[in-house]
Structure 1
C-alpha cells in the first residue's frame, strides 16, 4: 500500500488582492465548503451531506472522472474554529485545511495550508505508479488551495459571505 503525504500553503491576501479577506470570512467559507465542496474544489463533482450532527458532518464526495484521487469518498468532517477543518475518509485518508497567521501577525497576513495523507491500497509503496500519482496530486493540492481562496473572495464580493 502506498501512502502519499503532501502539503501546500498559499497566502490568502497577496499584494493587490481585493477584497482583503479576514479570518472570519475565511472561516465562514470553510464552513460552507464542508457542505458544498463542489463550489470550492474543481475536481469535486458533488457533495452529499448524509448527516449533520453538532458540528460533525458525514458526507459523500464524488470526484470528476479521472481527476480525483479516487471516484468517491465517504468522509467525517469536523471543524476547530477558526483554525482548521479535518476530513477523515473511510480508507484512512486524512485531509486538513488550516488557516494560520503570517509572520507579521497582522489580521490580513493569513495563510491557508491543505495537508493530505492519501492512502492507496492498490498501489505499491515507492513504485513508479506511486511517484506518478504523487506528481498528479501535488498539482491537485495547489489547485485546491488556490481555488478555495478564490471562491471565498468571490463569495465575499457577491455577498454570499458577510462575516
Structure 2
C-alpha cells in the first residue's frame, strides 16, 4: 500500500475573468459540489447523497472507469465556512477543498486549493515506477478538479443557478 499526498492551487479570479466570484458565491458552489459532485469534477460519474443531517453529508461517489483514484468511495463531508470543505473516505483517504486569500486580500487574489491524501492499497510502496505513474496521473486529475470546479461555479453564477 502507498500513501500519496499532493495539492494543487489555482487563482479563482484571474485578470480578465467575468464575473468575479465572491466568497458567498464560491461557498454556494462548494455546497452544491458536495451534493452534485459530477457537475464539478469531470472524473466523477455520479454522486448519491445517503444522508444530510446537521451539516454533515454522507455520500457515495462513483468515478469514471480508470479515471479516479478508485472505482467508488463513500465519503463523510463537513463544511467549515468560509474556508474549507473536508471529504473523509472510508478507506482513510482525505480531501480538503480550501478557499484562501492571497497577499493582496482582495477578490482578485482569492485562491482555491485541493489537498489530497490518497490511500492506495493496490500499489506497493516499493514499486517506484507504479508510484510515479500514479502520482503523475493524480496530479493531472487534481489540477483538472480545481480548475473545473472554479469554471463550473462561474458558469452557475452566469446562468443564475448560483445567486449573484
TM-score by length of 1: 0.98
Q: Any conservation in 2 of the 1:57–1:78 contact (CA below 8 Å)?
A: yes
Q: Any conservation in 1 of the 2:95–2:115 contact (CA below 8 Å)?
A: yes
Give 5+ residue unaligned stretches, structure 1: none
1:33 and 1:71 mapped to 2: Cα distance? 19
RMSD: 0.8
Counterpart of 1:150 in structure 2 is 151
Distance 1:82 1:126, change over 3 A: farther
Counterpart of 1:121 in structure 2 is 121
Specify the SS of the correspondent of 2:107.
coil
Counterpart of 1:98 in structure 2 is 98
Q: Any conservation in 1 of the 2:95–2:117 contact (CA below 8 Å)?
A: yes
| Count of aligned residue pairs for this structure pair | 163
Counterpart of 2:60 in structure 1 is 60
Specify the SS of the correspondent of 1:99.
strand
Residue 107 of structure 1 deviates from its aligned partner by 2.9
Give 5+ residue unaligned stretches, structure 2: none
Residue 105 of structure 1 deviates from its aligned partner by 0.7
- Superimposed CA distance per residue, residues 102-139 of structure 1 (whole angstroms, 9 cap, x where no aligned partner): 11011332000000000011211152111110000000
1:108 and 1:16 mapped to 2: Cα distance? 10
Q: Any conservation in 2 of the 1:22–1:108 contact (CA below 8 Å)?
A: no
Counterpart of 2:139 in structure 1 is 138
Specify the SS of the correspondent of 1:161.
coil
Q: Any conservation in 2 of the 1:75–1:90 contact (CA below 8 Å)?
A: yes
2:21 and 2:126 mapped to 1: Cα distance? 40
Counterpart of 2:81 in structure 1 is 81
Counterpart of 1:160 in structure 2 is 161
